[in-house]
Amino acid sequence: MISPLISLKSNSVLIIVTSLLLLCINFSIANEDYYYYYYKERTALYSLKTVLNNPFLHKVWTGPHCHFNTSIWYGIKCSADGHVAELVLENMGLRGNISESALINFSELSVLSFKHNYLSGTIMDFGLNPKLTRIDLSGNSFSGQIPASVLRLSGLVSFLLQDNSLTGSVPEFNQSSLREFNLSNNNLSGFVPKTTALELFGLDSYSGNPELAHYSSAGSKNDIAPSTGSPDDKDQSLKAILKKYLYVLDVVLLAVVILLLVLYFRKAKRLKKMMKEEAELRDRETKYSMANERIKGEEKSRDHHQIKSVEVESSQRLSVSNNNNNNNNTNGIGGGQAERGKLVFIHGDDEDDKREETFKMGDLLKASAEGLGKGTSGNCYKAMMEGKPVVVVKRLRNLKPLTEEEFAKQLLLVANHQRHPNLLPVLAYYHSKNEKLLVYEYVAKGNLFNRIHGGRGKRDRIPFRWGSRLTVARGVARALEFLHLNTSSPVAVPHGNLKSTNILLGDNDSALVSDYGLASLIALPVAVQRTVSYRSPEYQSTKRVSKKSDVWSFGGLLLELLTGKVAAYAAPAGARGVDLCRWVHRAVREEWTAEIFDGEIAVNRRSAVPGMLRLLEIALRCIETSPERRPDMSEVVREVEEIQLVDQSEDEDDDHGHSHERSLTDDSSMSTIASGDYRR
């Protein structure tokens, strides 16, 4: 009796041990399969990163690409079982020749998008990607034929290949799930297949393919239907269809009437709100102007003593060098390295530049000073020397740690730009361990911000008319084009902080752009918080700026000139502004034409209106969210120069002869803008 019990117990133990061994083996095999597949995905991604050779991807595509269902790699999303499910790299300027087999290791891939890059090669093979539902390779340079493997993607929902260089015929797509389809602007040929799936899409999906044709509705045997039923039956059927269409038409007309009423009341409400905001803004501007004048008087004395105390501290170190300043300061940046503690004049090889060296550091130390304001890169003071020209001294602050040689090298780059008539030249600089100073010519008419916004609501304000504003826009555009053409690096920002407070007004309202070349001297944390280029859409999304960031800043400046409103991203301390880009886009979309332009230019004669609308179009192109869609500054200069400048006297004579409400609310005036690419 005992022996059978022992045998039964032994068999049970054997079964349990065997089961555990089988579980361990299965787990080991499953783990091995997972890591093998993970390694294949990772290898494929590294190969793709090598082909694209993009600095940003080299930086962020490191470490595990999938950790369970999450990924820290830019543009990648993972499935629940830890495999790549989405690969989205859009609008990144990527270049490279993608291999046809680049995706064979991503069997769980469901979304693929490389749109708006510069990729080339043939379209990838999708035979091993059965779960793909969305493919967007539009806006690249892919060539060759559309692979037949796309026909095996049974769950395909979106297939977008427009704006490439594809050739060959259109495959016979017949997936019932297909909802988005576009092959326009390629080099496809032959006929569009008559499949149920492709018949859902109109001609726009195939436009821009000269060799591609459609089956005609007449003469096609697939379109000929056999005649059935008697003539009476056909008449009854036709009446029923007509009755149904008339009923639908009545419903649509009623819906349109209701919609128009709703839009009317919404627009009236928004217009009322907008007028209220405008009144509040003008009230704030008036209060700010009065407060600024009061503060300016209070700070005048304090600023004078402040610059004196700082410079007197430096004068003890400069006394020896100042005695010899006459003999040696002609070396400058262009002529050799200056010794420490000297006021170094900036000039080129032209002997005429030496006429600027009419004062010494000692003259600056003795000058009476008046505070002009505080900017991103430092405080400015008006220095009035006895018997010498009036100059402006900028005390630089928030700079990167730079040696004197590095500082001088950067000022040499600034000196190379001094020949343009719309750039404010730097006369001299001073560099020591504790002080960095720049000396500029004094421009008596002040800056553009005060000319647009200062003295609003006062009787003694001189109106800033359309002709003067167009002159300023032209001058700034020319200066910015000059900086862009003379900057070799494609990723550098030639100005970096273009705004109305950094534009001075010379004779006849000619523009003088200042603070160029200083953005690269400022510490990055300060630049990110205070300079205009770092407020651009591309920095918010990619943390990068370029020449196109300057173009965006110029577009915002044009909007400030046209609307007379303070831009929030460029407002000086103490001034509140509005998001001009968003406000103007809304105004264009809602056709609030009369509310866009500043009242001081809206009263101009009707002949000036086309120019104002044209400048608004240029501004809207410059503030495009995507840098690639913005024009280069050379193109901007050409378009601004084409705007006709009307006679200023005729504008003034016409102030009381025409209503700006009538001039600027003509439906035809805004049709191009409201219905074009600028609608958001």
Nearest CA among 524, 540, 522, 542 for reference residue 59? 542
Residue 310: count of CB within 10 angstroms of its CB? 14
Whole-angstrom distance, CA of residue 557 vs CA of residue 449: 10
Alpha helices for 324-378 (secondary structure H): 325-328, 332-335, 361-366
Tell me the residue type at 416.
N
DSSP string covering 469-528: HHHHHHHHHHHHHHHHHT---SSS-SSS---GGGEEE-GGG-EEE-STT-TTTB-HHHHH
Query: How far are the Cα atoms of 18, 364, 415 from residue 343, in angstroms, in the given order?
Result: 91, 10, 15
Which residues are within 8 A (CB) of 526 and not within 5 positions of it... i.e. 6 or more apart?
376, 398
| DSSP state at residue 168 | S
Whole-angstrom distance, CA of residue 610 vs CA of residue 604: 11
Whole-angstrom distance, CA of residue 73 vs CA of residue 49: 11
Residue 420: count of CB within 10 angstroms of its CB? 18
Binding site annotation covers 394? yes
DSSP string covering 254-287: HHHHHHHHHHHHHHHHHHHHHHHHHHHHHHHHHH
**Residue reference for tokens 């009307």:** 646
Whole-angstrom distance, CA of residue 105 vs CA of residue 85: 12
HSE, CB side, 13 Å, CA atoms: give it for residue 197. 21
Angle between helices 633-641 and 466-485 (to 10 degrees): 150
Whole-angstrom distance, CA of residue 601 vs CA of residue 664: 11
Angle between helices 547-563 and 580-589 (to 10 degrees): 60
Asked if residue 598 lies in contact with residue 584, where contact means CB atoms within 8 angstroms, the answer is no
Whole-angstrom distance, CA of residue 409 vs CA of residue 425: 16
Nearest CA among 77, 90, 118, 96 for reference residue 625? 90
Which residues are within 8 A (CB) of 265 and not within 5 positions of it... i.e. 6 or more apart?
none
Hey, what long-range contacts does 311-317 have (CB within 8 A, 24 or more apart)?
A: 311/364, 311/365, 311/435, 312/365, 313/434, 314/341, 314/430, 314/432, 314/434, 314/435, 315/361, 315/362, 315/365, 317/341, 317/432
Whole-angstrom distance, CA of residue 470 vs CA of residue 511: 10
**Residue reference for tokens 């001034």:** 575
Residue 84: count of CB within 10 angstroms of its CB? 25
Whole-angstrom distance, CA of residue 497 vs CA of residue 499: 6
**The token pair that represents 59 in the structure block:** 């930086």
Query: How far are the Cα atoms of 45, 290, 642 from residue 470, in angstroms, in the given order?
Result: 52, 28, 11
Q: Indicate the annotated binding residues.
A: 394
Q: Indicate the annotated binding residues for ATP.
A: 394
